[in-house]
Structure formats: C-alpha cells, structure tokens
C-alpha cells in the first residue's frame, strides 16, 4: 500500500463528510472508480461511504472481475443508497411450479443475445460479439460489469454458468431453457494453410458437440442447430472412412433423444479466409467428387425422424467463367435440393418450409464473406 494512497484516505473521508452533510444529499449520485489489489484496501475505500445517504451510487473496485471485491462494492452501494436488504428466509424457488420456474429463467442470460450461441472444441460455448447495454458508462467500459468488478451490474451479457451450478433440480430447468431458446452454431475448424491439403482425418466438430458436449436430456430440448462443413478438407479431397463411420454412429446415438429440430447445413467453400475458388483442370470431375462427399455427410441424417425442417446451403468451390455463372448457380440450387430430399424424401420442399425466410446467423454474416 503506497504512501500516496495513505495520504489520500483522509481527503477521501473529508469528501464523504461533505457529501453526507449536503442539503441535496438525497439528490446526489456518485460514481467511484478505485481499482485495488486486495480486500483490505477495498474496505478502507468504502468505509467512509458509510455516512452517505444518496440517490444513486456505482462503485468499481477492479479492472478484472473479483467476486470478493464485488461483494464489498455491493454492500457499500446498498448502504449508501439506503437499500439495506432485510434479513429474511431465502425465497424457496423450487416450491414454484416447474412452468413458472422456467418462465422466470427465460428472462435470464440463458437466452443468449439474438438467441444464438456458438460452440467449438477450443472455446466451448461462446458468443462472438456480446451485447452491451446502451448506457454511456458501458460505452466507455468504465462501469461494465462484464470486464470489471462493479456494482450495480450493467446490462451486458454475462455467461450464465452459475445457473447450471445451483442444484440438480434447477439444472434440469436451466438446460430446458438454454437448449430450447437458442440457435446453436457449430463452425468448422480453421483450415491450416501450413499443412498440405489432405483427407479429413479428425472427428467432425459436430460429432464432438452432439456426443460429448450436449447432455442427453439437453438433446431432447435442442430446437435449432446450424452446422458448417465448409473446409476444403470436407470437399473433393475426401474424408477418411473412419471419420464417416464415427459420424454415422453419432447420428444413430442421438436420433432417439432428439424430439423436434430445425437443422441447417452449410457445405463447400472455406471459412476464415476469402473464399477463393479451387482451381482444377477438370472442373466436372472435381465437382462430382465434391458432391459425392456432401452426400456422404448428409446421408446419416435420414435416421432422424424428428426434423421439423432441413435446410442446406452450398457454396461454389470451383473456378467458373462469367459466361457459366448462371449455370453454376442452377447446379448449386439443384444440388441443395438433392441433399435435402436425400434426408427428407422426394416430396420435401425447403422453400415451402420457410428456407428463404430464415435469417442467416449473425456468426455467419460476421465471419464469412457471404
């Protein structure tokens, strides 16, 4: 603790005394930023605020999130504003009917910004661009509780992990709201430009997500899933047979747990880079090989009897001259329809099911050059 800080404490106490004695104290608001390194220093900072009786107060005690410091800030703010909570028995949340508990949880951060959440093996669940509150304080990040130790918290999105850790009964309600209220997006892993082009040898990201990440009871609540098979390693280069067998087994395992799912697939192209076409001397042969790989990817979905909608989007992956652009687009349209009917049957029409009205995910629009 520096000498300069100790010299500041008496001055800070005088400031609080002046504010406490003001005739307009009940109309005053206070915003305090004092980033500290330990609990003792934090207590020394908020102790003079015990005399205050003001209308509004916001306290920040660290530029990182520290739960113990947040508790100190909370007590200081509540005391300064006269909102000292009464001692009472805890609210018996589990005594409420299940429908009411779930309705309450639907107003929490379990429902993600824009109802979209991404997942990858490296990051787990995440939101590409978190939704910030529209307050001026958060726009400058000084009092953003997402990044700092601040009370009261702002309206920025925060990962809803605490809801999953309360107890087993609440966990069931939490999973229901989380998996039924959001669209889940599983991107392809970035293509490694340092490695030579080769067959796909690793387990699909979607397979890891569906078998090792989503719990069985979560699968039953899953309503909207978006999967990307968009690396060149999924294309005409082919996929190792063992990877395809694993993919077929994945769909077989989850089929009996899913109930009502809208599934969107994106195939072809390359993520995380400008989607330059693949140059080849024999475009028809390469195109045929690519389409056959796509068929192998979608065929296992025929095991699913729960699909409320199945939508395929394919990108052009091969060099085409401007004179054949319309023809290429028509070929892709037919290919998409073919992949959809493989899964849903010959009478299926994704356009009638609302394919063109479905919004592309924000992750796609922000990440891929569409």
Segment 234-279, tens digit of pLDDT: 555 567 788 889 999 999 999 999 999 999 998 875 544 444 445 5
Treating both helix axes as pointing N-terminal to C-terminal, what angle do 168-181 and 98-105 enclose, rounded to 10 degrees?
Answer: 60
- The Cα 65–Cα 149 span in angstroms is 5
pTM: 0.80
278 - beta bridge partners? 318
Evaluate if residue 370 carries a pLDDT over 60: no
Q: Three-state SS for 333?
A: helix
Helices and strands per DSSP (H, E), number in the chain = 12, 9
Task: Please name which of 310, 209, 205 lies closest in space to residue 260, comparing C-alpha atoms.
Answer: 310
> How are strands ordered across the β-sheet holding 149-151?
29-33, 56-62, 149-151
Average pLDDT value over all residues in the chain = 83
| Cα angle value 61/64/67 (rounded, 5°) | 70
Query: Token match 């192998």: residue?
Result: 296
Check whether 353 has a pLDDT greater than 60. Answer: yes
pLDDT above 80: residue 119: yes
Beta bridge pairs of residue 169: none
Measured CA to CA, the distance from residue 186 to residue 219 in angstroms comes to: 15
Q: Which pLDDT value is given to residue 65?
A: 85
| Phi then psi dihedrals of residue 311, to 5 deg | -130, 125
Grade residue 165 by pLDDT with cuts at 50, 70 and 90: very high
**Longest CA pairwise span in the chain (Å):** 86
> DSSP letter at 82?
T
Q: Which of 115, 119, 251 is nearest to 186 (CA)?
A: 119
Q: What value does the mean pLDDT take over residues 346-353?
A: 93
């Amino acid at each position: 603790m520096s000498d300069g800080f100790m010299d500041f404490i008496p001055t800070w106490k005088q400031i609080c005394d002046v504010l406490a004695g003001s005739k307009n104290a009940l109309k005053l608001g206070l915003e305090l930023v004092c980033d500290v390194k330990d609990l003792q220093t934090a207590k020394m900072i908020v102790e003079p605020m015990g005399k205050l009786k003001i209308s509004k107060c916001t306290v920040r005690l660290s530029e990182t999130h520290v739960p113990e410091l947040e508790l100190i800030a909370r007590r200081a703010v509540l005391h300064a504003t006269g909102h000292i909570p009464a001692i009472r028995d805890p609210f018996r949340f589990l005594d409420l009917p299940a429908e009411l508990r779930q309705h309450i949880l639907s107003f929490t951060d379990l429902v993600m910004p824009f109802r979209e959440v991404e997942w990858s093996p490296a990051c787990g669940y995440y939101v590409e661009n978190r939704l910030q509150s529209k307050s001026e304080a958060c726009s400058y990040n000084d009092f953003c509780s997402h990044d700092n130790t601040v009370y009261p918290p702002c309206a920025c999105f925060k990962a809803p992990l605490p809801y999953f850790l309360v107890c087993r009964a609440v966990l069931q309600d939490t999973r229901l709201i989380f998996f039924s209220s959001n669209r889940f997006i599983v991107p392809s892993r970035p293509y490694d430009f340092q490695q030579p082009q080769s067959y796909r040898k690793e387990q699909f990201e979607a397979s890891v997500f569906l078998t090792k990440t989503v719990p069985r009871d979560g699968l039953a609540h899953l309503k909207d899933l978006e999967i990307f098979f968009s690396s060149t390693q999924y294309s005409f280069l082919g996929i190792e047979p063992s990877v395809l067998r694993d993919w077929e087994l994945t769909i077989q395992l989850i089929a009996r747990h899913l109930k009502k799912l809208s599934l969107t697939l994106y195939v072809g192209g390359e993520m995380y880079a400008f989607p330059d076409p693949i140059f080849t001397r024999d475009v028809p042969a390469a195109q045929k090989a690519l389409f056959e790989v796509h068929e192998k990817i979608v065929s296992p979905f025929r095991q699913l009897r729960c699909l409320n909608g199945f939508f395929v989007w394919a990108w052009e992956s091969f060099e085409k001259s401007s004179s054949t652009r319309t023809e290429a687009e028509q070929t892709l349209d037919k290919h998409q329809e073919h992949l959809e009917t493989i899964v849903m049957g010959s009478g299926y029409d994704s356009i009638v099911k609302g394919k063109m009205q479905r919004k592309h995910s924000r992750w796609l629009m922000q990440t891929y050059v569409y």
